[in-house]
Structure 1
């Protein structure tokens, strides 16, 4: 796998967290860290990650409770890889029943952590349809093309990537920080490039008859305004 992965590590042990984060940073992966279960749930439900690495022994919440909350609240079905010292069969069975996608006991080889992350992300991508329909928008993901009511939208690659994330997370809003991470990782442009790309995407939707489809949510981000039946919002 050549693309960089976006990883959330939920781990309260400072030494282990530093080891994992340093190793993944060395792979040029994008990483966030939460030292508590509550922060882990918050980050996982507000941002888009390829994989969540989850310790079970957290100071404020049981890790399995965190796993259930992430699976219930995350805008996309993010894979959860449990990293824990609990190595009994009963613990593993409970973890899988509560939504864990994979299980790795401590001590672990960091190279194996990376391999398992790649496998989980790859498996997740296999379930992503090559044609995605949200409301009146159709994305041909393999071709990198977007249509609005079967009319082609002349988008830049960045505009397509923005629309792709908005469609994946629909009907949820996507935060500005999540879009910045999705587009540019940990090194976003200095200028307000995101605002310019949003303006261009909104203009193309407007010209195709989709006025009002791309909505700005104050203090949060952006979302696509389609009703439950798939028509235009409003």
Structure 2
């Protein structure tokens, strides 16, 4: 059986601490890429796919808050765990406002760090400000959708359906999960989901050459781009 690793990006300027973290996490089945400043860390985060980003708050070149803000603004939904010596509520509020998912104050137990990384690796971040699949962009704050620069108007149900498909992309989302997300109180007739998928395709796929929504027979639907 192929061994499964969790891949994390560690952005930490304290080299001794970084090496200790990487060594411990390796024994927990967690592999680390490492950057010693915010600039290099940001570049690695945008070029590679990670399960979790471990981000120090005080970094040379670009600070951790700015790195986090940029990633979230660009639609990066990798969970971020901030590592910092600052432990006031105001400091934590700044981190969460920037888009971090969790916060760990130095000094911390390595075992706790590993546990939090494993928990975060099971999900996508809910802090993302923008979702992107190819030329389709969903701006959360403005609740606007654009494809190839053209604004697309969707119903609230259509926005929710699009949100699920884009957030899980390129994974398959089951019919049941979609129905329970759209109608959590009372799932209607099964044809309702077919209608919603059809209407969404009419808006975001039909006018364009590349089709993004794909039916996976017997499983559900997924949104997959050409990149």
TM range (shorter): 0.5 to 0.7
Equivalent residue for 1:30? 31
CA contact (8 A) 1:8 1:49 kept: yes
RMSD: 3.0
The count of aligned residue pairs is 148
Q: What are the ranges of 5 or more consecutive residues in structure 1 without an aligned counterpart?
A: 148-163, 171-213, 215-222, 224-234
The Cα shift of 1:103 comes to 0.3
Equivalent residue for 1:109? 109
Matched, 1:87 2:129: no
Partner of 1:43: helix, strand, or coil?
helix
Equivalent residue for 1:137? 214
Greater than 4 Å deviation, 4+ residue runs: none
CA contact (8 A) 1:6 1:30 kept: yes
Partner of 1:124: helix, strand, or coil?
coil
The Cα shift of 1:139 comes to 4.8
Partner of 2:34: helix, strand, or coil?
strand
Q: Distance in 1 between matches of 2:62 and 2:38?
A: 6
TM-score, structure 1 normalization: 0.55
Cα gap change, 1:135 to 1:100, in 2 (>3 Å): same
Deviations 1:112-135 (A, max 9, x none): 111111111223399736428962
Partner of 2:124: helix, strand, or coil?
helix
The Cα shift of 1:71 comes to 1.6
Q: Distance in 1 between matches of 2:73 and 2:216?
A: 26
Deviations 1:154-204 (A, max 9, x none): xxxxxxxxxx9x93xx4xxxxxxxxxxxxxxxxxxxxxxxxxxxxxxxxxx
Cα gap change, 1:136 to 1:64, in 2 (>3 Å): closer
Q: What are the ranges of 5 or more consecutive residues in structure 2 without an aligned counterpart?
A: 126-163, 175-196, 198-210
TM-score, structure 2 normalization: 0.57
Q: Distance in 2 between matches of 1:138 and 1:115?
A: 36
Q: Distance in 2 between matches of 1:108 and 1:95?
A: 18
The Cα shift of 1:3 comes to 3.8
Superposition map of 1:191-202 within 5 A? none
